[in-house]
Amino acid sequence: MQFSPPTASGQSVSTTRRVYEDLRDLILTGKMLPGAKLKVDTLKEMLDTGASPIREALSLLTSDQLVERIDQRGFRVAEISATQFREILKLRCALEDMALRESIQNANKDWEETLVLAHHRMTRTARSQVSEFERQHKAFHMALLSACHSPILQKFCDRLYDLNIRYRHLAGRSEAYQARDVSKEHADILGAAMDRDAELASVCLIQHYRRTGQFLVERLEEHQLSASTA
Amino acid sequence: MQFSPPTASGQSVSTTRRVYEDLRDLILTGKMLPGAKLKVDTLKEMLDTGASPIREALSLLTSDQLVERIDQRGFRVAEISATQFREILKLRCALEDMALRESIQNANKDWEETLVLAHHRMTRTARSQVSEFERQHKAFHMALLSACHSPILQKFCDRLYDLNIRYRHLAGRSEAYQARDVSKEHADILGAAMDRDAELASVCLIQHYRRTGQFLVERLEEHQLSASTA
DNA sequence: TTTTCACAAAACATCGATAAATAAAGACTA
DNA sequence: TAGTCTTTATTTATCGATGTTTTGTGAAAA
């Protein structure tokens, strides 16, 4: 396997960072199932590196709630549950609502431009280019919150976004999801934000999340997605 | 220096955990100043261990926002600012309000008992026993939120609590702080929570935080507390 | 057949050493 | 004297190896 090519900027990145990003990607996209054992030796081989960067990366992922560590018993991919998914959804609605309103309150030209650009890039990326689209999608959602002047809150939202996307990947693509006019939902959020209509923007955003959440809860409750039960 | 004696339960804890806790304590109590360089070699000697546990612990602290890491340039104690303090205060009020209301909504006998016990222990610990009192104080505040059925939210509150306590330590003990009847404030919060009066409990709690915050902002704005400027 | 124990294999946590990178010190030039 | 280049010294990041703990396996006893 070959991961993370050297960054375009040419700067050599630390192995730890590379490993962290690769592992996070594997977990978020569901390539590593919940509950799966993360053996240091296996990962060493897979990512072609020593034990130290692996363990450091796993420690970071632990704080992201993507990996669970049990003293003297190693690391495993964090478990999932319908209960946790509902918790994430609820928190996302509460925190992003807060951040979005503040963002709109502090709105300025720079923010508008960043936002329009992020939206444009997302719409220009084909849905078939899954990982690239996901990147742009996240960038758009984070751009919405970027003017809220609260780095910690943004960080919390970023975390929750990642936790959520993991569930989305694990649940698999649903036809119902495709049927929805997600593009219009995004456009509506953008429109409301540009109009500085905090109320409307918040409603649109939360609707957007709730709709997606709807399907996922249903799918999660029927399927049992875990490496420990497999 | 001697830290973290073997736990009472006799179980040997991993070095990483011990180091993590010791370092966190040093940072939270202000014994390590913001901006201070965290050299692995120095810490190795100080904590009497190898590089791996140190680096893993520092990685964990990075995710807690207590340590900053710069690729290829090591770790340093996270900087502080009056701006960040205000952000923390604001977030704490918002998130704990949310958690407390949910906690009260789910209130049951178990929770009541935990809460009364935590409060009792806190009042029975002399203010002179600083570190023990701090432990009980945190336990009481976390107990208030413990019935909210949202582990992630609780974790966020826990983080913010720690970030906040760091500012409290760095600002030093203020006479004005002592003058306030903090015990009464705690008792009021407890009372309202026991009465299942979410509205009142929330008001009391937020008042409690805002009052403490008031002094700290003032002190922070006059003093410049950082190792990099010293 | 099930349980318990002892042993073997695997995996974890940690150490000591080394290569790569950064920062500091000194020498040279303008 | 200030600025830049080169050399030296720290410091970081990473590897490979080792002692310990946990887990898995199979034989003996119930």
Q: What is the pLDDT of residues B173-185, one digit of tens each?
A: 766 666 678 899 9
What number is the average pLDDT over the span B49-73?
97
Chain-centre distance of CA B62, in angstroms? 16
How large a percentage of chain B has pLDDT more than 90? 79
Q: What is the pLDDT of residue B227?
A: 65
Taking residues B187-216, report their average pLDDT: 95
Confidence check: pLDDT of B230 > 50: no
CA A52 – CA B55 distance, rounded (Å): 9
Residue B7: the pLDDT is 38
Find the Å distance, CA of residue B161 to C1' of nucleotide D15. 39
pLDDT at B1 over 70: no
On the question of pLDDT at B160 being above 90, the answer is yes
CB-CB under 8 Å, B17 with A71 = yes
Helices (H), chain B: 15-28, 40-47, 51-63, 82-105, 109-124, 130-145, 151-171, 175-179, 182-194, 198-222
- Taking CB atoms and an 8 Å cutoff, what residues of chain B touch A62? 60, 63
Q: What is the pLDDT of residues A190-216, one digit of tens each?
A: 999 999 999 999 999 999 999 989 888
| 8 A C-beta contact, residue A13 and residue A7 | yes
Is A184 near strand D, with its CB below 7 A from some atom of it? Answer: no
pLDDT at res. B183: 92
pLDDT digits (tens, 9 = 90+) for A32-88: 999 999 999 999 999 999 999 999 999 999 999 999 999 999 999 999 999 999 999
Q: Does the pLDDT at position B10 exceed 50?
A: no
User: How many cross-chain Cβ pairs, A to B, lie less than 8 Å apart?
Assistant: 65
Distance of alpha carbon B157 from alpha carbon B115, whole angstroms: 17
First-to-final CA distance of chain B: 24
- What local confidence, expressed as pLDDT, does residue A33 receive? 96
Q: Stretch B89-98: mean pLDDT, rounded?
A: 98
The pLDDT assigned to B179 comes to: 66
Question: Within an 8 Å CB–CB cutoff, is residue A101 touching chain B?
Answer: no
Which letter does DSSP use for residue B14 in this model? P
List Cα–Cα distances, A130 to A126, A127, A210, in angstroms. 8, 6, 22
- Determine whether the distance from the CB of B13 to the nearest atom of strand D is below 7 Å: no
d(CA A111, CA A168) in angstroms, rounded, equals 28
Q: Are the C-beta atoms of B168 and B216 separated by less than 8 Å?
A: yes
Name residue A138's amino acid: K
Angle, CA of B185, B111 and B120, to the nearest 5°: 45
Write the DSSP assignment of chain A as a string of letters: ----PPPTT-PPPPHHHHHHHHHHHHHHTTSS-TT-EE-HHHHHHHHT--HHHHHHHHHHHHHTTSEEEETTTEEEEPP--HHHHHHHHHHHHHHHHHHHHHHHHT--HHHHHHHHHHHHHHHHS-TTSHHHHHHHHHHHHHHHHTTSS-HHHHHHHHHHHHHHHHHHHHH---HHHHHS-HHHHHHHHHHHHHTT-HHHHHHHHHHHHHHHHHHHHHHHHH----SS--
Interchain contact, B160 vs A153, CB within 8 Å? no
Nucleotide nearest to A17 (CA to C1'): D13
For residue B119, the SS3 value is helix
Residue-wise pLDDT for A107-148, tens only, equals: 999 999 999 999 999 999 998 998 999 999 999 999 999 999
Average pLDDT over residues B102-109: 97
pLDDT (0 to 100) of residue B85: 96
- At residue A4 the predicted structure's pLDDT band, cuts being 50, 70 and 90, is very low
